[in-house]
Structure formats: structure tokens, C-alpha cells
């Protein structure tokens, strides 16, 4: 289980997230939503040990990420902005990650197959489309066969077929008893993928429940999101 407990993070006196608490449970996909600047990325960075919280705790399987024995074997992460060396081939990028984390090299071909990137594995990353780079990032997250996935905009840049493939994969991954936490701006797609929803706005959690609970009384998840955050269609989020 992923547990975020009363996490506050301040930068130069400015509060980015304020006493954020929620859980992502095994066997379920949890969607983490919010407008731009709401605190999603900060929360995920704290969870993955990239930033230290000012107060509070972020735990994965009962431990901070930095105390996990083999973090990349336990947690697969894909954050927006993370990228491979452009001149490196996709397969070499995965090989480097596998070797540096003592992950069996047989997992490289398996991960490439899981995300539908096998045929492009020997191309250089600079020749990849945005969608292909996303697939490579997801393959890297899956290399260690982790029980936890933390994904920021996992289907960004994918075509409809690719989105459908990743959606089915994430559902299957959670159904096998794993924990999936994802952030996305694609409301319709999120609604077809997740079991639970957490919405953050202005650094604070404003909604936390099952998809049915969050959307009750609204025509869609998008309508619920706009009503809860006070934002509106076309606004940057």
C-alpha cells in the first residue's frame, strides 16, 4: 500500500502541499488529479524520495522510498520530464537500467513487449515520437516487475490504440494484486481506468473516494472535477 500521511512541503517559505493524506491500495488503480500547480508533482516527488517533506511521511509498503532495499524492484516510476539519452537506442537505455539495478536482462524483451515497443527497440531515442518515448518510460518502470507503479501522465502522446492498450495493461496489473497510482489530465480515459480518485487543489486534498463516490450527482468525472476545483473547461490544468 502507498500511504501519504500529513505531508507538507514548503519551498522558500511558500507552501506547495499542505497536510496531504491519502492511500493507494493493492489491487486498485488510484487516479491523482488536480489543476496545474495544485501539488501533484510535488507529492509524487516526495513519495519517490526526490524531495524531502517539510513534515509528514510518504510510505511505500510501510517504508520511505529511500529505505527500500531494492527500490526499482519494488517501485516502477515514470514522472513527466524523465527521459532517456537521445543518442542511445531504446534497448540500450533499458539494458543500462537493468544492469545498474541487478535486474535480469531477460526482462528487457519482456518489458518492451508489454508496452508494444519491441519493433522500435533498436532505434535511437531521438527518433522516437512522444508516444514512443512514453512507452519506453513505462517499459523502464516495469523492468523490475514492481508491485507498485507510480505514473505521471502515462498515456500522454499515445494514439487511441496505444491508450487502450495501456489502459488494459494497467487494469490487468492492478487485478493481479499490484498497486497503481497515476496522475493524468485525460478525464474520460481516467474514468475508464481507475477505481479510486484523489483530487488536489491549491496544495490540499479536496476529494478522496471511489470513482462512483466522486462522480455521484455529476454527469461525468470531468464535470465533478470542474465543480470541485472551481475551474472550467479550457482552463490550464
pLDDT at position 82 is 57
Q: Measured between alpha carbons, how far is residue 115 from residues 65, 142, 154, 164, 229 in Å?
A: 25, 9, 11, 11, 33
56 is written with which cell numbers? 509528514
What is the pTM for the complete model shown? 0.89
Please write the tens of the pLDDT for every residue from 172-215: 999 999 999 999 888 888 999 999 999 999 999 999 999 999 99
Q: What phi, psi does 114 have (nearest 5°)?
A: -60, -35
Rounded CA-CA distance 65/49 in Å is: 6
Q: Which helix (H) or strand (E) holds 111?
A: helix 106-114
| The predicted structure's pLDDT at residue 232 | 56
- Residue 156: predicted pLDDT: 79
CA 153 to chain centre: 6
* Sites in the chain below the pLDDT cut of 70: 80-82, 231-237
Cell numbers found for residue 59: 510510505
Nearest partner of 64 among 48, 76, 45, 41, judged by Cα: 48
Domains of the chain: 2-84+147-229 (3.40.50.300)
What's the confidence (pLDDT) of residue 130? Answer: 84
pLDDT value at residue 215: 95
Cα–Cα distance, 136 to 144 (Å, whole number) = 14
Amino acid at each position: 500500500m502507498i500511504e501519504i500521511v500529513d505531508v507538507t512541503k514548503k519551498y522558500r517559505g511558500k507552501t506547495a502541499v499542505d497536510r496531504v493524506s491519502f492511500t493507494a491500495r493493492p489491487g486498485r488503480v488510484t487516479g491523482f488529479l488536480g489543476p496545474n500547480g495544485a501539488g501533484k508533482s510535488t507529492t509524487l516527488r516526495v513519495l519517490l524520495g526526490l524531495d524531502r517533506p517539510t513534515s509528514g511521511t510518504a510510505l511505500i509498503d510501510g517504508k520511505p522510498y529511500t529505505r527500500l532495499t531494492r527500490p526499482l524492484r519494488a517501485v516502477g516510476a515514470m514522472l513527466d520530464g524523465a527521459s532517456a539519452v537521445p543518442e542511445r537506442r531504446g534497448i540500450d537505455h533499458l539494458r543500462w537500467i537493468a544492469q545498474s539495478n541487478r535486474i535480469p536482462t531477460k526482462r528487457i524483451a519482456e518489458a518492451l513487449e508489454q508496452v508494444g515497443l519491441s519493433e522500435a527497440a533498436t532505434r535511437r531515442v531521438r527518433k522516437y515520437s512522444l508516444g514512443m518515448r512514453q512507452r519506453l518510460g513505462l517499459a523502464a518502470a516495469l523492468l523490475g516487475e514492481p508491485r507498485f507503479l507510480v505514473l505521471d501522465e502515462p498515456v500522454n502522446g499515445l494514439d487511441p490504440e496505444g491508450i487502450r492498450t495501456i489502459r488494459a495493461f494497467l487494469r490487468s496489473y492492478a487485478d493481479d494484486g499490484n498497486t497503481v497510482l497515476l496522475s493524468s489530465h485525460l478525464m474520460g480515459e481516467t474514468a475508464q481506468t481507475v477505481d479510486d480518485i484523489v483530487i488536489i487543489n491549491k496544495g490540499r486534498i479536496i476529494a478522496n473516494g471511489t470513482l462512483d463516490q466522486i462522480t455521484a450527482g455529476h454527469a461525468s468525472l470531468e464535470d465533478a472535477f470542474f465543480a470541485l476545483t472551481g475551474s472550467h473547461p479550457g482552463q490550464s490544468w
